[in-house]
Amino acid sequence: MTANELRKLYVSYYKERRHEVAAAASLVPENDASVLYTTAGMQPLIPYLLGQEHPLGKRLVNVQRCVRTGDIEEVGDDYHLTVFEMLGNWSLGDYFKKEAITMSFGFLTEQLNIPVSKLAVTVHKGNDKVPYDAEATETWLELGLSKEQIFYYGEDENWWGPAGETGPCGPDSEMFYVNDLPDCCEECGPACSCGKYVELGNNVFMTYNKDKDGNLTELKQKNVDVGLGFERLLILANNLQNVYETDLFVPLINKLEEISGVSYDKSNEKTYRVICEHTRAAVFILADPKKIVPSNSEQGYILRRLIRRTIRMIHKLGVKKSILPELAEEVIKMYGEAYPEVKSCSETIIEELRKEYDKFNKTLQSGLKMANKYFGKLKAGECLNSEQAFKLYDTYGFPIEFTLELAEEKEILVDVDGFKAKFEEHQKKSRTGSVGKFKGGLTEHNNNSIKLHTATHLLNGALRQVLGDQVFQRGSHINSERLRFDFSFDRKLTEEEITQVESIVNRAIHHKIDVKCVEMNLDYAKNSGAIGVFDSKYGNIVKVYEIPGYSLEICGGPHVSNTSELGYFKIIKEQSSSSGVRRIKAIVDFDNVN
């Protein structure tokens, strides 16, 4: 089974069960300051999981690309990827546990032909706040699983959420494939990491709302969020051992062999895998509608890190010429059908990779000069300290293996243990940065954040009035205290322009304009002049929010009903975000309401 066949099989299975296809969202979450990248298929649906009506109805299905950056250094083994795909389906207040589990079971056993005997599942065992999940247990037994195939765990294993400090949460029931391996111990089960149990997916039952004091109350709208691991199912469907044996990577590995002149074997397996995985990830990020480019902060920093690690690995393979653009062209060819935006952005992708290759080559030469400076002050048998070794890694992109090779040539030692300690500290910070940047995050849809969300529409409209129609939103992060808005523009705004923008927004607030919302066909919305952050996330029916005279945007919401609810708007900072992108930080004085 090919990757494209599996995607189509999954979507068609749920379409037959009255699910509508929700288009995949950007890799960068909209109006969510909690994470750098979309890490799960449910993230774009948070407003609808909180009760807002989705234009496509109560049953949804899609395939969503996600990025997780906490384990970049682990890429190259059989499991870790930075970019992966999630198969997702949702019930927004429609069906619940029994129906969700039955459909998940049917897809695994009837569509993928996984024997019932090879499945294991987990169920929430209950605690002093919530009861044991009897309905999930009974459903699995009715479907044909034995009692021995059902395992019971507490909150650490079988509880989802909330995504932030507060919000929807509830028990879940995970599904596993059981490999033909002996138990590792008496307590061996899906919670083990021994390799016998491979997670396939999870059924999350959003039953409760958690408040800031930790209290749980039952939700009026109970939801189901089902996520299945696309790559793992593809491996299983083809009876393979790892993702690099699937058609997601085999053509790329073959291309790397061809253009590098180096055969793929056990001696360079991890190097090969990293090059292919990171190239694929870089292509997807560069193709994203949010126009991410390599930089020294946030999403751009992650992209730069991936590209430069790829270049280091190409050098490690013994290849000195620039082959990254050719590899990227192969990725574009491989994924053009499933993800058309990859093909349409091909020129931009290749150009950005070429520019980053040239920049890194200069950095690499600077790093060699710094390394030689360090080594020049040491004698044979002396030790390069951990601070110097880590600076070569962090500033110049030298992996510790490269530093060790250079040191060995000069018979100099390296404080590897000290380097590892600094590296682990660096990893912890990276994980923190990729998991949660601000408190609140996904579920912080309180009154203040809703007001600030509406203010971004006014800000966008004002910027286009002052600077012209070449201005487009490139991203926004909102918490309950401030908004951050990224937009396409190639120079610093003047003080006069900033004042003009503020005046337009505050005039709209002063005039107490009703915020209108109309659902319409996407093409009709575009023809009417409505703008959107990125078209690919929208279905055929969209919500268009209008603030007459100031803004007309396709958006999921939520928004205030009248501009008078906002208060006084003030830009507190305007700066560069990345090449061709400016960033505005602004606040709204909620106490200064008309």
Is residue 80 annotated as involved in ligand binding?
A: no
CB within 8 A of 16, min separation 6: which ones?
none
Nearest to residue 537, comparing CAs of 43, 44, 87? 44
CB within 8 A of 12, min separation 6: which ones?
none
Instruction: Name the 3-class secondary structure at 238.
Output: coil
CB 474 within 8 A of CB 577: yes
The amino acid present at 372, given as its one-letter code, is: N
Map 2-53 to HEC letters: CHHHHHHHHHHHHHCCCCEECCCCCCCCCCCCCCCCCCCCCHHHHHHHCCCC
CB 323 within 8 A of CB 314: yes
CA–CA dist 144, 147 (Å, integer): 10
Tokens found for residue 516: 């209108």
CA–CA dist 82, 66 (Å, integer): 8
The packing angle between helices 346-376 and 269-286, to 10°, is 130
CA–CA dist 529, 264 (Å, integer): 52
Tokens found for residue 476: 């926004």
CA–CA dist 361, 355 (Å, integer): 10
Is residue 559 annotated as involved in ligand binding?
A: yes
Tokens 């408190």 belong to residue: 439
Tokens found for residue 116: 């019932």
Is residue 124 annotated as involved in ligand binding?
A: no
CA–CA dist 50, 524 (Å, integer): 28
CB within 8 A of 592, min separation 6: which ones?
567, 568
CA–CA dist 378, 385 (Å, integer): 11
Bind-site residues: 453, 457, 555, 559
Residue ranges of the annotated binding site for Zn(2+) are: 453, 457, 555, 559
